[in-house]
Structure 1
Amino acid sequence: GVFIWRLRPERFPLGYLRNVDWMNRNSVEDVHWLLGYWQPEELDVTVALELLSMDFADEFVRRLAVKRLESLSNDDVLKYLLQLVQVCILKVEPYHDSFLARYLIQRALRSKRIGHFFFWYVRSEVAGCPYFRQRMAVILEAYLLGCGQAMLDSFTQQVQAVEALQEVAVIIKNLYPDKTNLDSTSRDFGDHQAKLNEPLDKCKVMASKKKPLWLEFSPMPSPTSATPVGIIFKEGDDLRQDMLVIQALVLMDSIWKEKSLDLNLVPYGCISTGHNIGMIEIVRNATTIAAVQRSQGGATGAFKNNALFEWLKSKCPLQEINVDRFVNSCAGYCVATYVLGIGDRHNDNIMIREDGNLFHIDFGHILGNRKYFLGVKRERAPFVLTPDFLYVMGRVDGRNSLYFQRFRDTCTEAYLSLRSHSRLLVTLFSLMLLTGIPELSAAEDMRYLRVALQEEQNEADAREHFLQQISECEKLGWTVQANFWIHMMGGIK
């Protein structure tokens, strides 16, 4: 039998449902009776998302979860769309025709923006996930039959452009299998532009192993000057992990802004358009920390504590450096990269804009997975907080400063805010477990998130925990500088 809970939203019997014998008819009937007392709108969104996980295959349970999602705004649907599509097209849903599939198709038809991302999220999995190709084809066809001719024409043009870009990328990688002759690569790329049939303004091949293409598309004619649309096209990299991290950054940003905490995150656009193919948005007026350090003394600039400060000062000679923006953005990314366990943090994937806004790119390692060099762990600090970052805040030789104290306070406030939403963060990552992302393949991978968020500790202990991480970063700052120097000397990617 079933014992009765007081019917309050926060008392939803999720733990009980996990232990139900779903092969026992009487138990299932009791569960359905119990859930009949719950109104969908009383469910927390996080609980609804958990009910769509692989732990619950019962149609009644999943229908209740989908009904809760029906009241979400378009912006909120986009926050969770990546996971919802994965849950729908993979083996979590027992049938092609499910409540979730119908819900997603309806939302995609009602919003062009949702429809755009829905199309690419589903289509990009076709080549990389052959076992569920039939389901993806059925769902995609159902959407395309109702989306209208204008959207169909738009998708046709987009697919043709992606296929042309992929063809060019493969040709260039075959012509130049190593990193040499990049100057001639950039010139030869012009010979292949005709294949794209697109108004390209500038293009080049980037100095990286996978030879990503830097493309700037001419804007449509306009009475006012318009900035070219810039993208990096990558062939050979699985961008789904980057998409997941950027989605998490968007969610963190919304959590912080609800607390009136704007940490100037830069969640740039990133989308997978096929198996190991995708595009990344170019962030304007930004440069890498490596380039900043080289400009202040070559490779040895990695050890120059005032390198970043001098560069920022040179970019705004008529006004004071925007230290507030630097402090806020640095705090935001220190907290975010720590919580998500983002690794491979070298000075070529940390960038800064001329206004002092710092941000991270290239999220190939997550959940505490670190890179090794010659058998040695390259990253020892919890996150990147180097002496040149501290110098901008006035933290020199351990001397305290108002900006550094503000940095510490902002970090702890941001960290504690995320802890109050830890269940949602863990749920979103757990719903991606079946996608084939290498560093997110087992339930054990969720353990890093729970430990990083100090779920078992009280708020005071959690605050002290993060302050200890800041102190640890100060002690190990020299190891990060050494890692930066090795990276610049060896060109390690």
Structure 2
Amino acid sequence: MIGSPYSPQSFTTCATCCVFAGEIIALGTACIGWYEFQGLPRFTQESWSTTTWFAPTMRVKASKAEAGRGTGLAAAEVLSGPSSEAKATAPTAATAAVAAVAAAAAVAAAAGSRGVGQGDGQAGPRSLLAAEGGQGPDLSPLAQFLIRRSCSCEPPYALAIFLHWFLVVEAQSDELFGEMYTEVLEAYMSTLPDHVHSVITRQHKFAEAISQCQLNAYNTKGNRDVKQKTMSRELEQLAIDKSGYPLPLNPSIVVNGVDPKCKIFQSALYPAAVKFWTAAPETFLTSPRRSSLEKIRSQELQKRHDKAGKLLGEDKLPPPETKGSVKLMIKNGDDVRQDQLIVQLIKVMDPCLKRVGLDLKLTVYGVLATSDKSGLLEFVTAKDGSPSTAIELMDMSIADYLRKFKPDESTESGIKREAMDAFTKSMAGYAVITYLLGVGDRHLGNLMMLPDGRMCHIDFGYIFGDDPKKKFVNPPPFRITKSMVDAMGGQKAEQFQEFCRISMEAYKELRRNAALIMSLLRLMKDAGIEALTVNPEAKFQTVEDRFRLDLNDEEAEQFFMGLILESMSHVGIQVLEGFHNLARILR
């Protein structure tokens, strides 16, 4: 093991994996600076052992507490407070660290570092613990803090919306503490201001209706074409409020219609690609009039949030870049929290690389679980809105694809230098990242090309060394094809040598951040993610071993160069593609 996974250094560094009661629920930035400008006490090794965040509150039943000893119990206690049995023992640094990161990152992710305006932090118009007879469940300071901040956020209510979905998913998926999450959710919904409650309720119903359309299509007997017709018919009959709904993945986008001309993908779960019509934010996203003092406080807090966000390398919540529409994938039958985890780990690694001048043109797309078995995923597009294309669906080589979209007769390759640069760097970035995280099932349907030259990976259903075809053929360390090498001019070309150099530099830099990455991964041990349900410690060890911390930098370069050569010459890769193509044909 690399030091303590809960060392102070891990949490004072840019910790971009938001943990909410030990679950992966949102992503953003959490560091000591965030605590300070929020007016919270600095978290030190000593303060972690205090019981500030662990006041006894809503009790977990004794049987559940006994069954949930360890991180799972600690996670639940962050929101509900410890059971009487747990209270007898002072919380460890590890459990307190979970609370600290949960408190900071949940708010920083969805509010501060994403630029969502906040009020003065006071409770909304309803009582914080409003319930029948004025008495509600006792909530821990952390739960109260998150509810209070969510209830005071301003349009587009990103923090309030994200917190709602996170609680909904955990209430459904956590067998041990689902009841506790449900009670927190009920307290939260009863505390929301009326107009925010209405926005969230309408959005939730809309998301459920869209998901049900895809589920009905999936359950229709027949091939993909039959299911696609069913989906289109379902969408046509969908009742949509023309005033619009904030998009769950990005609440700053308002959708007020849906295109019934959808697409069903030819995969096991038949996910659907649906286009939504967008509109300017309507009046339902406007908060009630506030006093001048409240506005001044909000503006000042916003400036502090923005300043901290810049220091931590985190952008604001992006404004809509669509031209009247936005395209999402609707998925049922799959827990997309695993995709959330990998996408957010890429968000952690990206600034680590950029700090040393390695901008590897990584592509991050939005993922949001709407239940434990359904979710929404953003389609990967270029900055100008141009769609991406799966490499397996391309009717030309990668080099010809780049020449088509980024031609330049003045270069030897006939491709614009910036496009070739983007391709080479993104190839290197994903080679290193998919190797370190043990991403499996890397068939060409999961590798996308964008018109600006970037290549990216999608669909992280198999991670930490898992692969569905592993029992037949051992997969290569990462995916690199002859077409990719040819696009760079071949193995002797200068561009390919640049790919190798960048890959080795990226590998060495991420090794220097191994403690941070492993700390964040270990916090996910009891998150209910499928990849960690069986022998999670072995999975963590798999990832840790791939950092090869026993090697010096020169040896690490030679090691990764060996992985590149092994991946290029892998003899079983055509067998793996054959399995995938056969499965597609059978569907």
Which TM-score band (shorter chain)? 0.7 to 0.9
Aligned equivalents of 1:291, 1:45: Cα separation in 2? 55
Query: Matched residues in 2 for 1:171 and 1:482: separation?
Result: 34
Alignment partner of 1:473 out of 548, 567, 570: 567
- The percentage of aligned residue pairs carrying the same residue is 26
CA deviation after TM superposition for structure 1 residue 393, in Å: 1.2
Name the residue aligned to 1:5.
Answer: none
CA distance in structure 2 between the aligned counterparts of 1:194 and 1:109, rounded to whole angstroms: 29
Which residue is 2:313 aligned to? none
- Give unpaired runs (5+ residues) of structure 2: 1-6, 12-40, 55-69, 75-85, 115-136, 243-255, 282-320, 382-386, 410-414
C-alpha distance in 1 between matches for 2:98 and 2:262: 46
* Separation (CA, whole Å) in 2 of partners of 1:237 and 1:80: 29
Task: Map Cα deviations across residues 318-345 of structure 1 (whole Å, 9 max, x no partner).
Answer: 5634110001111111111001000000
Aligned-residue Cα RMSD (Å) equals: 3.7
Whole-angstrom distance in 1 between the partners of 2:9 and 2:232: 62
The counterpart of 2:258, out of the listed 176, 187, 200, is 200
Aligned match of 2:275: 216
Q: Distance in 1 between matches of 2:334 and 2:326?
A: 22
Note closer, same or farther for the CA distance 1:444–1:196 as it changes in structure 2 (3 Å cut): farther
- 2:208 corresponds to which of 133, 141, 163: 163
Question: SS of the counterpart of 2:463?
Answer: coil
Partner of 1:287: 389
Other structure's SS at 1:279 match:
strand
CA contact (8 A) 2:353 2:359 kept: yes
| Matching residue of 1:436 | 528
Listed one character per residue, the Cα deviations across residues 155-204 of structure 1 (whole Å, up to 9, x for unaligned) are: 10121012212322222122235445356445544544347985113423
| Partner of residue 197 from structure 2, selected from 146, 152, 166 | 152
Partner of 1:23: none
Ranges in structure 1 where 5+ consecutive residues have no aligned partner: 1-7, 13-38, 82-94, 297-306
Show the counterpart of 2:475. Answer: 380
Structure 1: distance between partners of 2:521 and 2:46: 17
SS for the counterpart of 2:359 is: coil
The CA distance in 2 between the partners of 1:79 and 1:376, in whole Å, is 48
Check conservation: 2:10, 2:516, Cα contact below 8 A.
no
Cα deviation for residue 289 of structure 1 reads 0.4
The 3-state SS of whatever aligns with 1:215 is strand
Amino acid at match of 1:210: L
The answer to whether the Cα contact below 8 Å between 1:126 and 1:136 also exists between their aligned partners in 2 is: yes
Write 1 or 2 for the structure with the bigger share of helix.
1
Identify which of 502, 512, 517 aligns with 1:410.
502
Summarize deviations over 1:226-266 as a string: whole Å, max 9, x none. 24111111111111111111111111112112223211111
1:481 to 1:327, Cα distance in 2 relative to 1, 3 A = farther
Pick aligned residue for 1:316 from 394, 406, 412: 406
Contact 2:220/2:226, CA 8 A, preserved across alignment: no
2: distance between equivalents of 1:164 and 1:11?
41
Structure 1 CA distance for aligned equivalents of residues 500 and 231 of structure 2: 44
Partner of 1:54: 71
**In structure 1, how many angstroms separate the alpha carbons of the residues matched to 2:173 and 2:9?**
39
Q: What's 1:343 paired with?
A: 440
Compute the displacement of 1:40 (Å).
3.5
**1:390 lines up with 2:485 in the alignment:** yes
Greater CA drift, 266-275 or 192-201: 192-201
Deviation at 1:460, TM superposition (A): 2.7
Question: How many residues were matched structurally?
Answer: 426
Equivalent pair of 1:367/1:439 in contact (CA under 8 Å)? yes
- What is the distance in 2 between the residues matched to 1:278 and 1:75? 23
Please name the residue that 1:138 is paired with. 183
Retained in 1: the 8 A contact 2:103–2:146?
A: no
**2: distance between equivalents of 1:468 and 1:348?**
26
Please tell me whether the aligned partners of residues 79 and 247 of structure 1 are also in contact (alpha carbons under 8 angstroms): no
Amino acid at match of 2:172: A
> How do residues 111-126 of structure 1 correspond to structure 2 at under 5 angstroms?
111=153, 112-126=157-171
Deviation at 1:210, TM superposition (A): 1.5
Deviations 1:408-460 (A, max 9, x none): 12112211221122122112222222233232132222101110111333333
Alpha carbons 1:66, 1:99 under 8 Å: kept = no
- CA distance in 1 between counterparts of 2:181 and 2:438 reads 32
Change (3 A) 1:64 1:184: closer
Give, as a single letter, the amino acid of the residue that structure 2 aligns with 1:455: L
CA contact (8 A) 2:224 2:264 kept: no
Cα distance, 1:419–1:390 mapped onto 2, change above 3 Å? same
Aligned pair partner of 2:545 in 444, 451, 454: 451
SS in 2 for 1:491: helix
Q: Is the 8 A contact 1:205 1:214 kept in 2?
A: yes
CA distance in 1, matches of 2:47, 2:510: 16
- Secondary structure of 2:389's match? strand
- State whether residues 394 and 403 of structure 1, in contact with CA within 8 Å, keep that contact through their aligned partners in structure 2: yes
SS, match of residue 348 in structure 1: helix
Tell me the distance in 2 between the aligned counterparts of 1:189 and 1:269. Answer: 25
Distance 1:385 1:432 in 2: 30
User: Contact (CA 8 Å) 2:217, 2:231: kept in 1 or not?
Assistant: no
User: Which is bigger in relative contact order (C-alpha 8 A, separation at least 6)?
Assistant: 2
Task: Say if 1:47 and 1:459 are closer, same or farther in 2 by CA, change over 3 A.
Answer: farther
1:401 to partner: Cα distance: 2.0
State the alpha-carbon separation in 1 of the partners of residues 566 and 393 from structure 2: 26
SS in 2 for 1:365: coil
Which residue of structure 2 lines up, in the alignment, with residue 15 of structure 1? none
What is the CA–CA distance in structure 1 between the aligned matches of 2:47 and 2:498, rounded to whole Å? 33
**CA distance, structure 1, for counterparts of residue 100 and residue 333 of structure 2:** 39
Letter in 2 for 1:238: D
Partner SS, residue 262 of structure 1: coil
Per the TM alignment, residue 215 of structure 1 is displaced from its structure 2 partner at its CA by 1.0
Q: Is the 8 A contact 1:205 1:212 kept in 2?
A: yes
Distance 2:346 2:208 in 1: 29
CA distance in 2, matches of 1:333, 1:142: 42
Distance (Å, rounded) in 1 between the aligned partners of 2:476 and 2:460: 17
Q: Is the 8 A contact 1:240 1:272 kept in 2?
A: yes
Equivalent residue, structure 2, for 1:333: 430
